[in-house]
């Protein structure tokens, strides 16, 4: 599903150049649930941004579902993001003046899906995350966990190839975190490929594979026995 070969990325900070990713080789198969771990400054967010086509790579290659991701202009990148990727953010990033259902339907709007179908799909995914009754509520009327579940439903709505989650539980207490992880695991169980950036070991343990980044290189890449979040819920 994802193939990354010899990926380099550096940022220019005035005269100095900051080499963030120093040759990453990394493959993800369909249906995997991967945790990317590392301390801050290890390059894990940069890697996720490149995977999410929000940032460009300097060297190496990135292939997503057989499509080479290279030299994209903003329009093309937007179309690929819409088609291939679903984003889950630490701070949810719901649009505050849109109801839960409207937020979920937004990626479908950019896919030019007709309104009626959008609403149906939005409701379907909200049901899947257990928030059907909250469809017409604004994000300000939802709790943190509910917001993240809406965000997950939104990421799912476009039926992407890969879900990218950047610290999805970073703003949540542990109980809510486990609820969200439970949901992510269930989505993974259905065969969806999911990448999670986290620095919390207990969250990482709930994935099927942990990739450890340090100073821009992968120092450890191991498959683990998944801890089911449902045990804690």
Q: Least distance in Å: CB of 198 to other proteins?
A: 14
Among candidate residues 95, 87, 33, the one with its CA nearest the CA of residue 229: 33
Closest to other proteins by CB, 1 or 54: 54
Interacting span for other proteins (CB under 8 A) from 34-42, 61-69, 84-92, 208-216: 84-92
Give me 53's structure tokens.
């086509």
Q: What is the rounded distance in angstroms from the CA atom of residue 200 to the CA atom of residue 167? A: 9
Q: Are 41 and 105 in contact (CB under 8 A)?
A: no
Closest to other proteins by CB, 106 or 227: 106
Among candidate residues 187, 190, 144, 135, the one with its CA nearest the CA of residue 168: 144
Give me 40's structure tokens.
């801050």
Please, which residues bridge with residue 67 across strands?
64
Q: Are 216 and 22 in contact (CB under 8 A)?
A: yes
Q: Least distance in Å: CB of 10 to other proteins?
A: 15
Closest to other proteins by CB, 46 or 185: 46
Residues 96-125 that bind other proteins (CB under 8 A): 96-98, 102, 106-107, 109-112, 114-115
- Should residue 63 be labelled a site residue for other proteins when binding is judged by CB under 8 A? no
Residues that bind other proteins (CB under 8 A): 49, 52, 54-55, 74-75, 78-79, 81-83, 87, 89-91, 93-98, 102, 106-107, 109-112, 114-115, 154, 158
């Amino acid at each position: 599903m994802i193939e990354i070969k010899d990926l380099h990325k550096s940022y220019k900070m005035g005269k100095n150049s900051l080499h963030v990713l120093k040759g990453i080789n990394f493959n993800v198969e369909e249906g995997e649930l991967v945790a990317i771990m590392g301390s801050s400054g290890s390059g894990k967010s940069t890697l996720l941004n490149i995977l999410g086509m929000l940032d460009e790579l300097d060297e190496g290659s990135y292939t997503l579902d057989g499509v080479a991701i290279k030299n994209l202009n903003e329009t093309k990148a937007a179309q690929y993001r819409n088609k291939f990727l679903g984003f889950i953010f630490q701070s949810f990033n719901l649009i505050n003046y849109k109801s839960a259902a409207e937020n979920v339907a937004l990626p479908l709007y950019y896919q030019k899906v007709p309104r009626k179908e959008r609403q149906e799909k939005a409701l379907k995914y909200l049901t899947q995350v257990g928030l059907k009754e909250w469809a017409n509520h604004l994000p300000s009327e939802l709790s943190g966990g509910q917001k993240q579940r809406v965000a997950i439903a939104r990421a799912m709505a476009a039926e992407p190839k890969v879900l990218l989650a950047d610290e999805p539980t970073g703003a949540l207490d542990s109980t809510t975190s486990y609820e969200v992880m439970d949901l992510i695991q269930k989505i993974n169980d259905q065969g969806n490929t999911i990448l999670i950036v986290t620095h919390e070991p207990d969250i990482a343990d709930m994935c099927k594979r942990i990739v450890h980044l340090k100073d821009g290189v992968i120092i450890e890449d191991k498959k683990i026995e998944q801890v089911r979040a449902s045990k804690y819920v």
